[in-house]
Structure 1
Amino acid sequence: MVAGSAIVEWVAVGVAAEFPPWWENVLYVASSSVTVVMVFAIQHTQARQQAVTQRKLDDLLRAQPTADDRIIALDGASDDELEALTDLSQENRKRALATDVPPTMLDPPT
């Protein structure tokens, strides 16, 4: 509603002023400024939401007695550690598909 009324007012003032040459430049600058502000606002909101989701997932992992605590610390893991845990997850998936028994975390390959 606010944006729509601002556009109507902008056009009305433009008609009254007979659309001077600088009119488009002001519109371009204003719309670009609003776009930049919105990009930063969206990025901030997404980063906050991601942090909240990460904390919730960490808490769910801590609550499971059979969960591997190393998964909570994956954010700071090296590429080799991440790859080893990915391989472990793939082994667990294969094992789960091969049997009806729920998979348990296997010891990582050494």
Structure 2
Amino acid sequence: MSLKSVFNTVAKRTAYATGTPWTFIAAVAVVVVWGITGPLFGFNDTWQLVINTGTTIITFLMVFLIQHTQNSDTAAMQIKLDELIRVTAHANKELLDLEELDEERLEEIRSEYEQMARKAGDALSRRRTR
């Protein structure tokens, strides 16, 4: 098994696990226990450092896991959309490589589609008023 494969498996499982209600409840419980122990430790610097360090480490690691899963999900969705465009007879094939276009061309295409949407909305309004 390659490092990439292991990381992919760990990232997906961790992302799934951290998105569950039980994980959220566990995180809230940790914060509540930490808060309750404040008087025992006199709300000292070490007591504060524990939660600050813990949350910083978890946040730092989660950024990479979230980015990895988002990249995977986006790539899969892009492939599915490309396939839908490819098999649609009158589709604009330029859209297959849309993510590679520069901002200027993207804005031109966005404007074209906004104009089409306005025309479709106008036509729908006309049909409703008849």
Q: Which letter does structure 1 place at the counterpart of 2:81? A: L
Mark the CA change 1:24 to 1:86 in structure 2 (over 3 Å): closer, same or farther. closer
Task: Quote how far apart the aligned CAs of 1:19 are.
Answer: 4.3
Gaps of 5+ in 1: 101-110
| Greater relative contact order (Cα < 8 A, sep 6+) | 2
> Aligned match of 2:111 in 82, 87, 101?
87
Q: Distance in 2 between matches of 1:24 and 1:77?
A: 48
Gaps of 5+ in 2: 1-21, 125-130
Moved over 6 A (4+): none
Mark the CA change 1:37 to 1:95 in structure 2 (over 3 Å): closer, same or farther. same
Q: Which residue of 1 aligns with 2:79?
A: 55
Q: Which letter does structure 1 place at the counterpart of 2:68? A: H
Higher Cα Rg: structure 1 or 2?
1
Q: Which residue of 2 aligns with 1:107?
A: none
* CA RMSD, 1 decimal: 3.2
Q: Deviations over 1:41-84 (max 9, x none)?
A: 12221222112111111111111111000011111112332222
- The TM-score normalised by the length of structure 2 is 0.54
State yes or no: 1:43 paired with 2:79: no
Q: Which letter does structure 1 place at the counterpart of 2:77? A: T
Q: Distance in 2 between matches of 1:69 and 1:77?
A: 13
Q: Distance in 1 between matches of 2:61 and 2:120?
A: 48
Q: Which residue of 1 aligns with 2:88?
A: 64
Q: Which residue of 2 aligns with 1:104?
A: none
- The TM-score normalised by the length of structure 1 is 0.62
- How many residues align? The count is 96
Q: Distance in 2 between matches of 1:54 and 1:67?
A: 16
Q: Distance in 2 between matches of 1:82 and 1:50?
A: 18
State yes or no: 1:33 paired with 2:93: no
Q: Distance in 2 between matches of 1:38 and 1:29?
A: 14
**SS in structure 2 opposite 1:41?**
helix
